[in-house]
Chain A
Amino acid sequence: MNSVPDIYRILPEVILTLTGVLVMLVDASLPPGLPRRSLGWVAATGTAVAYLASIWQLSLPVGTGFYATVETSPFTVFFHALICGIVLVALLLSLDSLPEDSHHQGEYYALVVFGAVGMCLLTAAIELLVVFIALEISSIATYVLAGYRKETARGPEAAIKYFLLGSFATAFLLYGVALIFGATGTTQIYDIANLAPSAQNHSLVLAALALMLVGILFKVSAVPFHVWTPDVYEGAPSPVVALMSTAPKAAAFALLLRVVYEMFPTLHSVWAPLLSIVAVLSMTVGNLAALRQQNVKRMLAYSSIAHAGYLLAAFAGMGNAGIAAASFYVAAYAAMNVGIFAVVTVVSGYDENLPMIQDFRGLIYRSPLLGGLLIFFLASLVGIPFTGGFFGKFYSFSAAVGGGAVWLAIIGLLNSGLAAAYYLRLAFAAAQRPSDETGLTRSYEPRAGVAVIAALLFAVAATLILGIVPGDVLHAAQTGAHTLQPPPPTATEVIGIATTQPRVP
């Protein structure tokens, strides 16, 4: 049986929870006037430790804990490390960009860390109710963070919109869970994988799949469940957008991989074409809408919808190739998207008085470093070789070609050509000669402290490593993909209600 103590299976989550609680308690006990900035460093340290803990989990034997509700495997470690990395960078970014006198800084840092708990748990959970709880933990934190700038009208609007639509989508997911429980009598993912093919009511299984897909595709902002994205990204503070456009999506994609490849592998012929269609819609609609945007954050919001599409193209791939490609793309996308939002945060500041593309005019003259970084991350989003974005697209589309969907790869690549148009608009605005009437005037001085520089450095390093020597990360993604394959049915599981029994891997 399981020789590993259960607590080790959720060590990163435990560390993150303790950090969050600590931050919250200290915040409550500090006198009101005192600056809360150091709490950010506490949160960042806790996240870094959680990162190390998740790497350490690799030394554990692959297996489950807490009555087969959570799992540790190279797959979960890959996503844990990714999420902790993103959260760490987002925290560093926030440290320098939140105003000193902001009242709720303590809560902010605590919420970011609690959100991370939910996301990590989401990737580790192999029991649908735990999945649901994890999803709610991460979502509630993000809802609140989206509305952090209460002083503007857009902040609360973003939060409300995100909250209402988000809860609606989660309800779909929950309904799907209920139906699959009805069909198979269990909510444990491995058991469902074994029981679903022989379920008496096949249409119930299909309905469950469809409902769960709706819930998850909402979280990754795929078309047609994307309408919330631009408004929420525009209203939320930039460092929060850096976080919420990457980490929850990474977690949601991990869940999607689990649901389709591990829970319903036999329904490949159903979900693969469905996801391909969603992929094409997402990239096309995302790119076309982005072309018309003048606001940088809205443009990047549509761009993230398009990237969800490129990523979904990987799901056309067969088994391991598709999973590995999708995991790699999530990492590449996270690195470059966090990077670009970090640059946007530094350029336009917390108040965002420079929201438009034209406002970036002359950036490369006013601050060559920021301008260079902006162009670098945009090049990666375009998919220029020797950046992470290139290999992300490369693996994703190779998986599609390998799975026989050449048309999907062609549409995807034509779309990346289309996307180049709006990325370039921003890049060229930054490269244009500045004028003193619009954009960055002579008096412009970007605010960049140690933490922001560290955050940018992480993002640049990650994007470059993924673009020049992707071998190691790809290897990790492939090892993860291997462990996501459904296990062969065992005698105990066929009995049915296995949720309360410890499972032997």
Chain B
Amino acid sequence: MAINESILTWILLVPLAGAVLVALLPDRGKLPAWLALLTSLVSFGLTLHLPAHFVLGQHGFQYEINRPWIENPAIFYHVGVDGLSLWLVVLVGLLAPVGVLASWNAIKDRRKVFYALFLVQQTAMFGVFISLDLMVYYGFWELSLVPMAILIAMYGRKDGPKAAIKFFLFTFIPSAPLLVAILWLYARTGTFDFVELRLLIDSGSMPTGALWWVALAFLFAFAVKVPVFPLHGWLADTFTEAPVAMAMVVAGKLGLYSMLRFHVGLFPVQSRAVAPILVALAVIGILYGACLALVQRDFWRLLAFAAISHLSLITLGIYGLTFTGWDGAIYQILNHGVVDAALFLLLGILETRYATSQIAAYGGLASRVPQTATLFVITSLAMIGLPMLNGFVGEFLILSSTFTGVSHGWAIAATLGVILGAAYMLWLVQRLFYGPESELAMRPAADLRLGELAVLWPLAILMLVMGLAPAIWIPSIENRIGIPALKGSTALPASSLSVSFQGEGQQ
């Protein structure tokens, strides 16, 4: 079918075309916002085509296109999705309209610049997830930095330019070794193609010593982007300064996906060797993030450290190197995307209504803004990992696979971090919405508006569905190109896994 061949190209081009359109049309009223909404809805619709026509049980990449782009060096426009990237593309598609709606009232000036860059960012994100040529991948990876950095600088809350430079340098400098590593691979093999490189590296014809450095360069770039402890220096400032919509689109996904695809996927031997270190760093990250989240006074910073904790948990799932752990990690990336988006939205709404992000100023809001409180509680519970909500599924898969496949000690330590997670989130809920009514709560402020409800309720329902019926997602997630599972329970059949898991969920 023709549409299956070109769908990925359309997914890339639609947001870009939208960006150009927004840039060309006049900056009048809400016109850019409407255009961006329209574009992002169209691109979301296009991404839904992918799971709808995804063939379960088919090996390799689907919707693949592989055309020469540049002759020398041999760069191919090679794109495709498998179970790993399929839902991530849909997630990016879903978050685009959510992001536009989150900015609807928050962005009051220079809408044109904002929405044009927001849409460019969409293209870059889609590009990262679907590129199978390392150069094209690298291109989108770098491109994804630019709109983010500019928007942080333009709309930063306190010191935008400083945070933007920090963000840019933190993520740009590690990509220098990444590019050298990619160039080295090319000089050695004459190809940038992910599929070909995988076979070549698997065949063992590459010198192992140099391959070590290459794998490390890849890992370093990804680990900063995630961020893995202790490379997290940029995250808190970025979360505090970035416009809500941008922060929620960017957090975590790119780095984690790249780790699975291009580090574990491309260098199985090397990643097995560094896995113990990363497991340790991940567990430290879980505990460290959770502990720091407990003591934050500003809710954006709290969210940033909570994100470090959650992203570290996913890293743990990836470097546990078990099949179940990878399922859990991919599922948890999706969960984290949805839950974080909802939290960002809600906190953004609170900040615009009450003009502060200091937790201490709040208190007793629940009776004034009951809708906000309800949705905030649902989202927090999903984040904590309450059974029946989506966070539980991913956390359970990751922690159980760590317990059986890695070591009891790390699993117990990580679980402790999850408990701490419950502590800081519930405490946050308590300080914001319950307790004695603060001065702030006396102020007249509207509860959620219709547009906000129209975004948040679907997200909440999605959290519930993802918690109750992971079987919708898990089989296609497992339909990814084979990364040899290296230890623990090897490839469990998809059905048995999700069935046994649903049992747990419904207790």
Contacts and interface: CB of A to CB of B under 8 A. Distances in A.
Contacts of A402: 187
Interface stretch (B69-77, B201-209, B456-464): B69-77
B46 interface: no
B154 interface: yes
B153 A390 contact: no
A385 B139 contact: yes
Contacts of A428: 149-150, 153, 160-161, 164-165
A474 B180 CA distance: 20
Interface string A433-456: 100000000000000000000000
B179 A413 contact: yes
A365 B110 contact: yes
B169 A385 contact: no
A104 B487 CA distance: 79
Interface stretch (A1-9, A133-141, A145-153, A418-426): A418-426
A386 interface: yes
A471 B71 contact: yes
A413 B177 contact: yes
Contacts of B146: 379, 384
Contact of A414 (B138, B165, B176): B176
Contacts of A421: 165, 169
Contacts of B23: 372
Nearest to A361: B161
Contacts of B150: 375, 427-428, 431
Given A385-B140, A401-B180, A406-B184, A364 B173 contact: no
Contacts of B113: 364, 368, 372
Contacts of A471: 70-72
Nearest to B116: A372
Given A384-B146, A386-B143, A424 B138 contact: no
B172 interface: yes
Nearest to A385: B139
A432 interface: yes
Contacts, number: 104
A429 interface: yes
Given A420-B169, A424-B165, A428-B165, A406 B180 contact: yes
Interface residues of B, number: 37
B143 A410 contact: no
Contacts of B142: 384-385, 390
B410 interface: no
A401 B176 contact: no
B187 A401 contact: yes
A379 B161 CA distance: 16
Interface in B136-183: 138-140, 142-143, 145-146, 149-150, 153-154, 160-161, 164-165, 168-169, 172-173, 175-177, 179-180, 183
Contacts of B145: 384
Interface in B166-225: 168-169, 172-173, 175-177, 179-180, 183-184, 186-187
Contacts of A474: 70-72
A439 B165 CA distance: 21
Nearest to B23: A372
Nearest to A413: B176
Contacts of B168: 420, 424
Contact of A429 (B161, B173, B184): B161
A390 B141 CA distance: 13
A301 B180 CA distance: 27
Interface string B96-122: 000000000000001011000000000
Contacts of B184: 401, 406
B110 A432 contact: no
A414 B173 contact: yes
Contacts of A413: 176-177, 179-180
Interface in A371-416: 372, 375, 379, 382, 384-386, 390, 394, 397-398, 401-402, 406, 409-410, 413-414, 416
B180 A410 contact: yes
Given A385-B142, A406-B180, A414-B176, A398 B149 contact: no
Given A416-B176, A424-B165, A431 B70 contact: no
A384 B143 contact: yes
Contacts of A418: 173
Contacts of B183: 394, 397-398, 401, 409
B15 to A, nearest CB: 14
A384 B161 CA distance: 19
Nearest to B140: A385
A475 interface: yes
A385 B161 contact: no
B112 A368 contact: yes
A470 interface: yes
A489 interface: no
A385 B139 CA distance: 5
A319 B378 CA distance: 65
B139 A390 contact: yes
A487 interface: no
A424 B180 contact: no
B72 A397 contact: no
Contacts of B169: 417, 420-421
Nearest to B177: A410
Nearest to A411: B176
B71 A475 contact: yes
A152 B255 CA distance: 53
Contact of B70 (A368, A375, A470): A470
A229 interface: no
Nearest to A410: B180
A306 to B, nearest CB: 14
A429 B187 CA distance: 39
Given A385-B142, A420-B172, A431-B153, 4 more contacts: A385-B139, A417-B175, A421-B165, A431-B150
18 contacts: A364-B110, A372-B23, A385-B138, A385-B140, A385-B142, A410-B177, A413-B176, A413-B180, A417-B172, A417-B175, A427-B150, A427-B153, A428-B161, A428-B164, A431-B150, A431-B154, A432-B153, A432-B154
10 pairs of A and B residues whose beta carbons are closest in the complex = A413-B176, A385-B139, A417-B173, A428-B153, A428-B161, A431-B154, A431-B153, A401-B183, A385-B142, A409-B180
Interface of B: 23, 27, 70-73, 110, 112-113, 138-140, 142-143, 145-146, 149-150, 153-154, 160-161, 164-165, 168-169, 172-173, 175-177, 179-180, 183-184, 186-187
